Amino acid sequence: MLEIKDLKSRIGDTEILRGLSLSVNAGEVHAIMGPNGSGKSTLAQVIAGHESHEVTGGTVTFDGQNLLELEPEERAREGIFLGFQYPVEIPGVNNAYLLKAAVNAKRKHNGLGEVDAFEFLKLAREKMATLDMDPKFLNRGVNEGFSGGEKKRNEILQMAMLEPRLAILDETDSGLDIDALKAVAKGVNALRSPERAIILVTHYQRLLDYVQPDYVHVLSQGEIVRSGDKSLALELEEKGYDWVREAASA
């Protein structure tokens, strides 16, 4: 589904990704781990098309399509979802309005008509119930005055409504209490299916207790330095990132 080959990127004069390769198939859950500054969030943003990153080499294809040629909104409509580490506040813009606009943009792309307002609300309320979100959040400004946990649940709600084929969650677990973490994990697990792939970008293995990854990759200085299964995450937790760095440079 997603093929990344020798990907290089920079911000200004600073090289961040230095020849990263990754292959993700439908049905798989990949965890990307690594210390701060290793390029985890950059990878997520480059896949989503954030314009502050300049791609200087390599290729990224999504179902054979050159992803790097597409605008961020086109990538989203193709089925790529990025759950943000720091979701922005958009004052005055109704949460339901943004959600509906997003759903309709995707439906239009797929040649479908606009979603029925009544069905949309019904579905949104159902999804919110599974995330333990108060339906009142639909009528608030997008992330406006939300707590950290509420913002992350809101990201998962958007993901649930948009039903992406590839979901990338950028440190969605950071700063969450255990209840919020469980709710988020529940939302992610609900999305798991043979047609979809999920990339979890995370600093800690905590989330992986609730969402079992098929693969774990460790990023260091813009490259994947080690890949393995779930046990790699546990080993990391035990030995720390220095262990990977040393192993990589050895």
Partner 1 sequence: MSTESENLESLVNRRYEHGFVTDIEADSLPPGLNEDVVRAISARKNEPPFMLEWRLQAYRQWLEMKEPTWAHVHYPKIDYNEISYFSAPKSDEDRPKSLDEVDPKLLETYDKLGIPLHERARLAGVAVDAVFDSVSVATTFKEKLSEAGVIFCSFSEAVQDHPDLVQKYLGTVVPRRDNFFAALNAAVFSDGSFVYIPKGVRCPMELSTYFRINAANTGQFERTLIIAEEGSHVSYLEGCTAPMRDENQLHAAVVELVAMKDAEIKYSTVQNWYPGDENGVGGIYNFVTKRGDCRGANSKISWTQVETGSAITWKYPSCLLRGDNSVGEFYSVAVANNMQQADTGTKMIHIGRNTSSTIVSKGISAGRAENAYRGLVKVMPQAHGARNHTQCDSLLIGKECGAHTFPYMEIKNPSARIEHEATTSKISADQLFYCRQRGIAEEDAVNMIVNGFCKEVFKELPMEFAVEAQALLSVSLEGAVG
The 158-177 contact track toward partner 1, x by CB under 8 A, reads: x---x---------------
The residue (of 64 and 92) whose beta carbon lies closer to partner 1 is: 92
Of residues 5, 10, 18, 109, which one binds partner 1 by CB under 8 A?
109
Instruction: Tell me how far, at minimum, the Cβ of 194 lies from partner 1, in Å.
Output: 24
- Quick check: 81 binds partner 1 (CB under 8 A)? yes
- Quick check: 92 binds partner 1 (CB under 8 A)? yes
Q: What's phi and psi for 153, nearest 5 deg?
A: -65, -35
Instruction: Tell me how far, at minimum, the Cβ of 184 lies from partner 1, in Å.
Output: 18
The residue (of 5 and 107) whose beta carbon lies closer to partner 1 is: 107
Sign of the C-alpha dihedral computed for residues 17, 23, 26 and 32 taken in this order:
negative
Pick the stretch among 24-32, 65-73, 129-137, 207-215 that binds partner 1 (CB under 8 A).
Answer: 65-73
The residue (of 50 and 206) whose beta carbon lies closer to partner 1 is: 50
Nearest to 216 by CA among 228, 198, 200, 202: 228
For residues 205-237, one letter each, b for 16 or more C-beta atoms within 10 angstroms of the residue's C-beta and e for the rest, the string is bbbbebbebebbbbbbbbbbbbeeebebbebbe
- Quick check: 137 binds partner 1 (CB under 8 A)? no
Of residues 7, 76, 133, 160, which one binds partner 1 by CB under 8 A?
76
Pick the stretch among 30-38, 68-76, 126-134, 198-206 that binds partner 1 (CB under 8 A).
Answer: 68-76
Instruction: Tell me how far, at minimum, the Cβ of 65 lies from partner 1, in Å.
Output: 16
The residue (of 104 and 221) whose beta carbon lies closer to partner 1 is: 104
Instruction: Tell me how far, at minimum, the Cβ of 43 lies from partner 1, in Å.
Output: 15
- Quick check: 56 binds partner 1 (CB under 8 A)? no
Instruction: Tell me how far, at minimum, the Cβ of 202 lies from partner 1, in Å.
Output: 19
Distance of CA 168 to the CA centre of its chain: 2
User: Cα separation of 216 and 202, whole Å?
Assistant: 10
Q: In what order do the strands lie in the sheet with 54-62?
A: 14-24, 2-11, 54-62, 65-66
**What is the contact surface with partner 1 in residues (CB under 8 A)?**
48-52, 71-73, 75-77, 81-82, 84, 87-88, 90-94, 97-98, 101-102, 105-106, 109, 141-142, 158, 162
